[in-house]
Amino acid sequence: MKTLVLTERDVREVLTMDETMKAVERAFELHALGKTQMPPKVYLNFENGDLRAMPAYLDGKAGVKWVNSHPENPKLGLPTVMAVIVYNDPKTGFPLAIMDGTHVTNYRTGAAGGIAAKYLARKNSRVFGFVGCGRQAYTQLLALKEVFEIEEVRAYDVSEKNAERFVEFCEGLGVSAGTFGIERVCDCDVLTTTTPSRRPVVREEWIGEGTHINAIGADAPGKQELDEGILLKAKIVVDDIEQAVHGGEINVAISKGVIKPEDVYATLGEVIAGLKPGRERDDEITVFDSTGLAIQDIAVADVVYRKAKEMNVGIEIGLFEPPSRWRPF
């Protein structure tokens, strides 16, 4: 048997947002129904960043993602986040594929935001705000565009150049967009935050009734993007309660005793599976706390692997000698 090796260019060639969203939505549902295995993330912490191991099994699919987060990497000409996924056959353990996980991570995270908004935002949402216009904002937009008729995008970033570049991307998709001050950006139907902040950047008084917020940036202990007052007023939905308490948007508020884990309304999977309703009133403020789950990565890795095989994309290599050729050391 051969192992398929897929570069980032290969993954980009075969993966679409529509397929990603279907795979991720199914993964959330299976998780809520107790039909997945997903041990907690394992962290190796360094002076300049960390490495994380994220294994998962669901629906006959298995594998692990090995991903870093090093904020100072751009100074060295390297991405802040880089990931590799090993996709295995659960029947034999054979590594079916080794693939770039960075693009998978970006797409599956974007997909989670789009799916959350599908269930939690008002159906007539038309104005979309983005606080943080780095790489993740792009896939969040692509996913939201699969669900809504977007009339206007309002963008804010501490880097004006990043915000302007994102606006150009929006306009290239035929979406009206502009850069604004952060308070104006927060005056929207759906707000997406994708910053690495460790202090609130979105204030309670900026959020109007009926707003849905996708809080994407907080993915480690101490990270926080939203004023704690927003959480006290909102219906909070998380991707995974254990991860969210440890390092999601709610982690700081819980550590301070502002809210308790019991104040979390539901997991997104519970809403998708129909175990709990999503948005129930137009005036509700809803928050989706996204930490990123290994089941998302492996569900999407399966899509990538199958399409790459169909399209004859990638390079196959033999990692192991067949038993007939085994020899003593």
**pLDDT band at residue 68 using 50, 70 and 90 as cut-offs:** very high
Distance CA 297, CA 27 (A): 9
Q: Report d(CA 227, CA 244) in Å as an integer.
A: 16
Strand pairing report for 50-58 and 36-37: antiparallel
Residue 2 pLDDT class (50, 70, 90 cuts): very high
The mean pLDDT value for 146-150 works out to 96
How many Cα neighbours within 13 Å face the side chain of 325? Answer: 4
Task: Output the pTM of the full model.
Answer: 0.93
What integer pLDDT is reported at residue 231 of this predicted model? 97
- Please give the angle made by the CA atoms of 105, 53 and 84, to the nearest 5 degrees: 45
5 pLDDT above the threshold of 90: yes
Hey, is 128 helix, strand or coil? strand
Phi-psi region of 153 (alpha: psi -120 to 50; beta: other; left: phi over 0): beta
**187-207 pLDDT per residue, tens:** 999 999 999 899 999 999 999
Task: Pick the catalytic residue from 22, 35, 61, 65.
Answer: 65
| Cβ atoms 74, 135 nearer than 8 A | no
Cα angle 262, 232, 158; round to 5: 120
Higher-confidence residue of 6 and 323: namely 6
Q: Which of 58, 55, 27, 57 is nearest to 41 (CA)?
A: 55
Residue 328: per-residue pLDDT: 65
Specify the pLDDT at position 326: 61
pLDDT mean over 101-125: 97
In the chain, CATH 3.30.1780.10 covers: 3-104+294-325
* pLDDT score, position 219: 82
The answer to whether residue 282 scores a pLDDT higher than 70 is: yes
What's the mean pLDDT in 209-231? 94
Does residue 40 or residue 63 have the better pLDDT?
A: 63
Confidence tier at 79 by pLDDT (50, 70, 90): confident
Q: What is the mean pLDDT of residues 103-120?
A: 97
Cβ within 8 Å of residue 213, ≥6 positions away: 190, 191, 192, 193, 202, 207, 226, 230, 234, 285, 286, 287, 288
Each residue's pLDDT tens digit, 263-277:
999 999 999 999 999
The answer for residues whose C-beta is within 8 angstroms of residue 196's C-beta and 6 or more apart is 71, 217, 223
Q: Is 223 a catalytic residue?
A: no
Residue 321 clears pLDDT 80, i.e. is over it: no
Range 210-225 average pLDDT: 93
Query: Taking 80 as the threshold, does the pLDDT of residue 75 lie above it?
Result: yes
> How sure is the predictor about 248, in pLDDT bands with cuts at 50, 70 and 90?
very high
Q: What is the CATH number of domain 122-289?
A: 3.40.50.720
**For residue 44, which phi and psi values (nearest 5 degrees)?**
-115, 115
Total residue count of the chain as it appears in this document: 329
Domain with CATH 3.40.50.720 in the chain: 122-289
Per CATH, the number for 3-104+294-325 is 3.30.1780.10
